[in-house]
Structure 1
Amino acid sequence: MKKALLQACAVCVGASGAYAGGLDRSGQGVNLIFEEGSVVQFRLGYTNPDVSGTLGGVDSGNVAKDFFTPHLGYKTSLTEKLDFALIYDQPFGADVEYGSNYPLSQNPTSPFGGRTDVLRAEADTDTITALFRYKFDNGFSAIGGLRAQRLTGNVAVPAAAGYESDLDADIDFGYVVGVAWEKPEIAARVALTYNSKITHDLSQTESNNIVPPIPAGVFTADTDSEVVTPQSINLDFQTGVAPKTLLFGSVRWVDWPQSVYAPPVYTGITGSNLLDYDDATFTYSLGLGYQFSEEFSGAVTLGYETSTGSTVSDLGPTDGFWSVGVAGTYSIEKAKISGGIRYTDIGDATTNQGADFSGNSAWSVGLQLTYALN
């Protein structure tokens, strides 16, 4: 099975920011480690979501902003049995902003001089993974590596007395372990990888408006909180099913209940966490690729994430999805250029504050370049 076909399948699955779990973006894939020889790889996805709902008859507007999902990688063979890859991606993120007339964007202290803002949240992660693969006999291999992750963010909840939290950037570490089996004669591969949770000990500046009869003003405190980006398990598989035809897919489990953000000032005001989850998520994909010529291959994929049915955070108002995507790869000497497009129907959701979100969707596009160095 030609490598160009595998490239098209990879882009079709992950070329463009999945909307899994509301915050899950890159999928933490490790397919680069299976490339032959030494390669460099660049991928950039762009997602344009349309997510809106109503609370008390007031429209939220489109709360989800467009976002990019970059990926950079380098892979080489250190020996005949040992491979190494260095991967940069942004596995988790949020960029949400509500309209100014939305109930949760209203500061109850504003008539007394309270500041004006909107309900919003921005969170970014930048991750570098150093990954190794040791090849045993009979097609089996072991995968392992270390991951460094940087997290930063900013959150405003005007309805909580003009509350805002500005998080200092923090870097912490996790790991990846896994196993794989391959049979190149039929382009078969199964890979199971575990991504550890990463615990960030955050320093932040929390502030809110002082409520009368105390003289109007802003209360500010430098506080500490713990935030976890959750553990996850990825199962990826592929096999040739006919000449020039590849069946491929994946299953991803993410342990979202591990992710709790409870800054002390906010919990003191509201008596609740700023962010938490009730349920883990399972995300599935299944696709078919075909090699049309020596130079060109194409693929189509379907994606699905189960709906939990639980209420969700107003800062991530989605619950499950289904998607369809198409992609193609063109090979030019040592380079493989891939592009893909994906449509996602985002699941209806009810938020913790009783808002209803329905009829939402996202369009994503992605471009990937893989260049062989030898």
Structure 2
Amino acid sequence: MKKMLMGASALAMVGGASYAGGLDRSGQGINIIFEEGTVAQFGYSYVDPSVTGTFAGTNSGDVGEAYGLPQLSFKTAFTETLDFALIYDRPFGAHVNYDSGYRLSIDPVNPGTPNNLTAEAEAQALTAILRQKLNNGFSVYGGLRIQNVDTSVNVPAVAGYNVQSDSPTDFGYLLGASWEKPEIAARVSLTYNSKIKHSLQATETNSLGTNVTSPVGIATPQSVNLDFQTGVAPNTLVFGTVRWVNWSDFDYTPPVYLGATGGSLVSYDDDVITYTLGVGHRFNESFSGAIQLGYEQSEGNLVSNLGPTDGFWSLGVGGTYTNKNVQYSAGVRYIDIGDAVTNVGGNPGGTFNGNSGWAAGFQITYHFDKNPA
């Protein structure tokens, strides 16, 4: 059953790379801590959304830029009951680029100068985890997360406004508990990820000659992941995740932008809950496969122009080939992106509907111990 579990691993990775709410990207998964022995893992996901809309008679173009998500993990056992894992991922990000003819891409100070409403943001994180096994299949775990953030946002419609930040490194933590019954491949884990506060040195400029650098506080949100799996028939596994992210507390408001507009550059009205549910099956000793559904509810509120989506549903398939100590996994996912209306000064702005995307990923897992179970 253990090899079959790997059949769902690439799907779990690609599932985390869906076009999720807020700035969510990787899903902050930690399942490598539950692997046996000493394991190294490398994965890469590629996400290509197609997101188009209109506002005030102008077309946005395809604003959803493609992006890649690498992930690198290592896990080992210090003792029979104490495990350690180290995970690198990119948990949050934004990648949007509007056409220069879109209403919000036009600089009123220099209307003839080509420009684009854009946003690029990325958080990189390194997480160290210790897991202590207890009796009767229970365990507790916790760890430290080190994270930095880069941002660059261009809003030409606000007098050619642009803001860029540095890359501060700050700390957060995670805590969790799990229960396992290996005989039926059952496991339930609950993980809390703390918010991480950053003080960005943000440099704001505009077409009026403003050039101001000042500290601006942001905090990537706290979240809770509930992961579960269980065997339901010989060589067949049901697995899934429920992820809650506290996006309603997120706010990024540089002072020059606040003075010009009276509002936040990026904020969200609602928390986001993302659901995934899948089935995996081991066909033989070498090959296993899985299928997975994903869902995120549309909230129906106005959304940020820097993320003009509202919910999604998705369908993914994946498989794993096992050759001695190595598992080669791959998966692909189709994403139906929820319709959205953007917020322009507190009023309805652009309308985005009929959008979709896809994600694909691969993962290589190497067991240093001989004859992995």
Q: Sort the TM-score into its range (normalised by shorter chain).
A: over 0.9
Offset of residue 56 of structure 1: 1.3
Q: Once the two structures are superposed, what CA deviation does each residue of 1:96-117 show, in whole Å capped at 9, x if it has no partner?
A: 1100000000000005xx9642
Q: Mark the runs of 5 or more structure 2 residues left unpaired by the alignment.
A: none
1:15 aligns with 2:14: yes
Query: What does residue 226 of structure 1 align with?
Result: 217
1:163-182 matches, cutoff 5 A: 163-182=161-180
Once the two structures are superposed, what CA deviation does each residue of 1:217-276 show, in whole Å capped at 9, x if it has no partner? x21011111111100000000000000000111100000012100000000011110000
Q: TM-score, normalised by structure 1?
A: 0.96
Instruction: Describe the SS at the equivalent of 2:12.
Output: helix
Q: Write the deviation string for residues 301-347 of structure 1: whole angstroms up to 9, x where unpaired.
A: 00000111111000000100000000000000110000000000000
The answer to whether the 8 Å contact 2:22/2:268 transfers is: no
Q: For 1:162-311, what aligned pairs fall within 5 Å after superposition?
A: 162-210=160-208, 218-311=209-302
In structure 2, distance between residues paired with 1:4 and 1:350: 45
Q: Secondary structure at the match of 1:329?
A: strand
The residue type equivalent to 1:38 in the other structure is T
CA contact (8 A) 2:22 2:247 kept: no
* Cα contact 1:22–1:319 (8 A) shared by 2: no
Structure-2 separation of matches of 1:361 and 1:170: 34
Q: Secondary structure at the match of 2:307?
A: coil
Aligned residue in 1 for 2:3: 4
**Residue 51 of structure 1 corresponds to which residue in structure 2?**
51
Which of 100, 123, 127 is the matching residue for 1:125?
A: 123
Give the aligned partner of residue 368 of structure 2.
Answer: 373
For residue 360 of structure 1, what is the aligned residue in structure 2? 355
Kept after mapping to 2: 8 A contact 1:148/1:174: yes
CA contact (8 A) 1:13 1:325 kept: no
The separation in 2 between residues aligned to 1:104 and 1:298, in whole angstroms, is 45
Q: Deviations over 1:190-224 (max 9, x none)?
A: 000000000111101101122xxxxxxx2101111
Residues 143-187 of structure 1 show CA distances to partners (whole Å, capped at 9, x for unaligned) of 100000010111110000000001111111100000000000000
Report Cα offsets for 1:2-40 as digits up to 9, x if no partner: x22211212112226121114211000010000000010
Do the aligned partners of 1:15 and 1:43 also contact (CA within 8 Å) in 2? no
Please point out which of 331, 340, 353 is paired with 1:340: 331
Instruction: Provide the C-alpha distance between the structure 2 equivalents of 1:73 and 1:373, rounded to a whole number of angstroms.
Output: 14
SS of the aligned residue for 1:91 comes to strand
1:214 maps to what in 2? Answer: none
Please state how far the C-alpha of 1:57 moved relative to its aligned partner.
2.1
CA–CA separation in structure 1 for the residues paired with 2:114 and 2:201: 24
Q: Give the distance between the partners of 1:20 and 1:191, measured in 2 at CA.
A: 21
Q: Give the % identical residues.
A: 55
Question: How many equivalent pairs are there?
Answer: 364
Cα distance in 1, alignment partners of residues 176 and 113 from structure 2? 50
Listed one character per residue, the Cα deviations across residues 44-93 of structure 1 (whole Å, up to 9, x for unaligned) are 00011101111012110000110011100000000010000000000001
Q: How do residues 85-104 of structure 1 correspond to structure 2 at under 5 angstroms?
A: 85-104=85-104
Moved over 2 A (4+): 13-16, 114-117
Task: Indicate the larger mover: 4-13 or 152-161.
Answer: 4-13
Q: Could you say which residue in structure 2 is the equivalent of 1:215?
A: none
Q: Distance in 2 between matches of 1:24 and 1:81?
A: 33
In the alignment, does 2:22 pair up with 1:31?
Answer: no
Task: Decide whether the 8 Å contact of 1:116 with 1:162 is kept in 2.
Answer: no
* Cα gap change, 1:45 to 1:155, in 2 (>3 Å): same
- The two structures, once aligned, show a CA RMSD in angstroms of 1.0
Measured in 2, the distance between the counterparts of 1:22 and 1:205 equals 23
Does the CA-based 8 Å contact 2:341-2:351 persist in structure 1?
A: yes
TM-score (norm 2): 0.96
